[in-house]
Amino acid sequence: LYKEVVYIMTKLKFATTYSFDYSLTPNSIIECQNGDYIIVGKAHNKDSHSSAFAIRVNYKGNVIWKKIYSSPLPQFFTSIIQTTNGDLVATGIYYYSEYASDEYTWIVKLDENGNIVWQKTLGFVGMQSEGYDICATSDGGFAITSLFYNGISYKTRIFKFNNEYELQWDELFDIGVAFSIVETMDNGFMLSGAINTLNSSLNNIFILRIDSNGKKLWDRIYSEFIDSDIVNSSIIEMKNGHFAVVAKSIIFEINSIGNIVWSKKNSNYKLNNIIQSKEGNYIISGSSTINNNSHAFIECIGSNNQESLWSTTELLYPSETTDLILSKEDYLVTCGYAPINTDKSLVCFALFSY
């Protein structure tokens, strides 16, 4: 007797790049309700100030519109969602002075043409606040996780807004910095992030679970997982009620109370996203070091045996994927960047079938 294993390979459907006069770093991509895609991120301006940018493209990658959101001081987008009501909402970072650490969490509502129709900044003067991730909630609102730094320690701050853009609650947790937030099936939230060890260049991964009112249910620091300079992570709720997490070179699954089911580490990885395929497998993305070069990278890992089913580095290098989603038509859709010289990089947009 033997078990037949079917390996489904991915195929690059198409890839294209976009540019402004600036160097671009895309941070987030969404599929809109009509099948268009919006990519947001950071434009590095010639005067050294950064601006936010957004690009809307159709399913063929053709540009519908592209916008630069300039201000006298730096600002940029880190994440965007479409709410259950169809609103486009982004979060990011807004500088209120020219000095480092003088930052607020920035929240922006865009209309269908990319115009800002509402915006809000949250923070306190003299205390650093940076919006990192946003998730749509089942009540039509949204939740944001942000960095909060008071000059002594880094903390996680979470804002929950209703569908009328009213702040429902604001909670602060002294555990480290959460980079990713998802709403759970019980309408609470799970967050993943990193906390400094005694060696400031090394980090442990942590998970924080809160209820729908922002009250902590449990948290856990995974001291068995350690890596240098973790500045991103991604967490998802699996169809079986478990959670899967990636952070730099580490991928692992936990059950509903935080116990580790399995884990892997690969020092060649620089991972920033994980999603679940319709078959229930894990799909991870970021970059992989091959012959000392950084390649945009996607890999599918089987949920049953945690073995690699396929991987691809078809995109040009040097490059890196920065976000990954599964489209309504079941394509893998990714955004990323590709440097064209030491001073400038382009936005990369690609669709894969599998």
> What are 34-51's pLDDT values in tens digits?
999 999 999 987 666 889
3-state secondary structure (DSSP) of residue 48? coil
User: What confidence score (pLDDT) does residue 7 get?
Assistant: 44
Q: Report the C-alpha gap between 181 and 91 in whole angstroms.
A: 13
Return d(Cα 4, Cα 106) in angstroms, integer.
51
Structure tokens at 276: 């679940």
pLDDT tens string 218-248: 999 999 998 988 999 999 999 999 999 999 9
Would you state the pLDDT for residue 10? Answer: 73
Low-confidence ranges of the chain (pLDDT < 50): 1-7
Quick check: helix, strand or coil at residue 204?
strand
Helix/strand/coil for 246? strand
How far apart, in whole angstroms, are the C-alpha atoms of residue 163 and residue 81? 13
Predicted pLDDT of residue 2: 31
Residue linked to tokens 């002294």: 174
Q: What is the pLDDT of residue 3?
A: 35
User: Are 60 and 112 contacting, i.e. CB atoms less than 8 angstroms apart?
Assistant: no
In this prediction, residue 192 carries a pLDDT of 98
Those residues with Cβ within 8 angstroms of residue 82's Cβ, 6 or more apart along the chain or in another chain = 30, 32, 33, 88, 89, 136
Largest distance between two CA atoms of the chain: 69
pLDDT of residue 97: 86
Instruction: For residue 277, give Cα distances in angstroms to 100, 177, 303, 328.
Output: 40, 28, 10, 12
What pLDDT does residue 200 have? 67
- Structural element, H or E, at residue 25: strand 23-31
pTM for the model = 0.94
CA–CA gap between residue 289 and residue 229 (Å, rounded): 17
Displacement of CA 346 from its chain's centroid (Å): 18
User: Quick one: tokens of 24?
Assistant: 């671009």
